[in-house]
Amino acid sequence: MTTTASTTDSATGTQYAIEILGVTKRYGKITALGGVDLDIEPGEFVVLLGPSGCGKSTLLKIIAGLEDLTEGEVYIGGKLANYLKPSARDVAMVFQNYALYPHMTVRANIGFPLKMAGRPKGEIEQQVAFASGLLQIGSELDKYPDELSGGQRQRVALGRAIVRQPLAFLMDEPLSNLDALLRVQMRSELLRLHKRVGRTTVYVTHDQIEAMTMADRVVVMRNGLIQQIGPPDEVYRRPANRFVASFVGSPPMNILDGRIETADGRRRFAGPIPVEIPGLAGATLDDGPAAIGIRSEELVLTGVGTAGSFPAVIELVEPVGADIFLTATVEGGAIITIRVDAETNVAEGENVQVSIAPGAIRVFDGAGDRVRLTSDAA
């Protein structure tokens, strides 16, 4: 199999596998997509992430050609795809409900797209053998879908996409019908598959753990708009705004509301906990409402008297395997979550002292956008 495919005659002359330019989609008065731009590199695994109703599936269906767009352009393999039928787009869609043909064997289900395309029998057999070997369902080829487990059915659906050797796979929550354990297993299988087949993949999920573990780049969406595009680590560490900070990561980032104030020529954040924010002085930010964000693992239990630390009362102790999540209240009533390791000896009702890891504080302006601090890494 070739691993990537692209051409250079797209709108911008660059080598994107898929290019989405100013795409909007309206259903009557509902704006499902409010102007989306997204470039996907050949071989990339891109995850569209966001809450239910944010437009992920609509965007995927527009790429697949299963839905018309209202405005904008979609290029696939460098070719304008707006007017191409789904079958002419060189993409293969994998749905959450596997859409297998119940009266056909696994072999026939997997080979079906090639049969429809009139490929020779030998080639179909070869491709089915290749895909079923890759997916470890080679011994199930003579079974019917209702004789398979959920995980096996999902593999058959994937097999049917693989034999087509499309330019891109489009996957709409493909694991959401599986139980938790199988989901984790299929997640790593899909990733292994991606590494072997190396094909551009656009993957829709509302599950941020799926997104964080699978994506080369995550596209965080909300209300039909892209909030941020970036590698999982960047989206986690440097969220573009409060929405991304609270949607990505479990537990969500601690966000504490307060105000930016300037007194005696010094700018500070006045809020529920005392903080020193290096880099705030030179940041582009007016006095007024603002918030700070700190990840739970960037809060540290410390001793009384530690510079910059503040007191808190532990309200809830939740062990989660290797970590414990502590819910604590600070003076004034704000609630924070602190992640400590499982060995930590701490009890509900206990008074603790908390400090903040260096460089951990993000600042969000009154509109909720993250403010670039002069201390931020480039």
Our finding on whether 50 is near ligand ADP (CB under 6 A) is: yes
Are 241 and 363 spatial neighbours (Cβ–Cβ below 8 Å)?
A: no
Long-range CB contacts for residues 23-28, cutoff 8 Å, separation at least 24: 23/59, 23/62, 23/69, 23/71, 23/72, 23/73, 23/74, 24/69, 24/70, 24/71, 24/72, 25/55, 25/58, 25/59, 25/62, 25/67, 25/69, 25/70, 25/224, 26/70
Q: Is 343 exposed, middle or buried (0-12, 13-18, 19+ CB in 10 A)?
A: exposed
- Our CB check for ligand ADP shows the closer of 52 and 284 to be 52
Q: Which of 40, 42, 56, 241 binds ligand ADP (CB under 6 A)?
A: 56
Our finding on whether 174 is near ligand ADP (CB under 6 A) is: no
- Our CB check for ligand ADP shows the closer of 53 and 274 to be 53
Peptide bond into 251 cis (omega under 30): yes
- A 10 A CB-CB count for 218 gives 29
Q: How far, in whole angstroms, is CA 33 from its chain's centroid?
A: 17
Q: Which of 10, 57, 228, 327 binds ligand ADP (CB under 6 A)?
A: 57
Q: Which of 18, 36, 54, 163 binds ligand ADP (CB under 6 A)?
A: 54
- What is the nearest approach in angstroms of ligand ADP to the Cβ of residue 205? 10
Our finding on whether 63 is near ligand ADP (CB under 6 A) is: no
Our finding on whether 116 is near ligand ADP (CB under 6 A) is: no
Tell me the angle at which helices 180-197 and 150-162 cross, rounded to the nearest 10 degrees: 20
Our finding on whether 205 is near ligand ADP (CB under 6 A) is: no
- What is the nearest approach in angstroms of ligand ADP to the Cβ of residue 33? 8
Our finding on whether 53 is near ligand ADP (CB under 6 A) is: yes
Our finding on whether 32 is near ligand ADP (CB under 6 A) is: yes
Number of amino acids touching ligand ADP (CB under 6 A): 11
Our finding on whether 49 is near ligand ADP (CB under 6 A) is: no
Q: Stretches 47-55, 104-112, 163-171, 257-265: which one binds ligand ADP (CB under 6 A)?
A: 47-55
- Our CB check for ligand ADP shows the closer of 34 and 366 to be 34
- What is the nearest approach in angstroms of ligand ADP to the Cβ of residue 190? 19
- What is the nearest approach in angstroms of ligand ADP to the Cβ of residue 194? 21
Q: Which of 13, 29, 52, 307 binds ligand ADP (CB under 6 A)?
A: 52
Our finding on whether 29 is near ligand ADP (CB under 6 A) is: no
- Our CB check for ligand ADP shows the closer of 40 and 135 to be 40
Residue type, 149: S
- Our CB check for ligand ADP shows the closer of 38 and 280 to be 38
- Our CB check for ligand ADP shows the closer of 72 and 274 to be 72
- Give the footprint of ligand ADP on this chain (CB under 6 A): 27, 30, 32, 50, 52-58
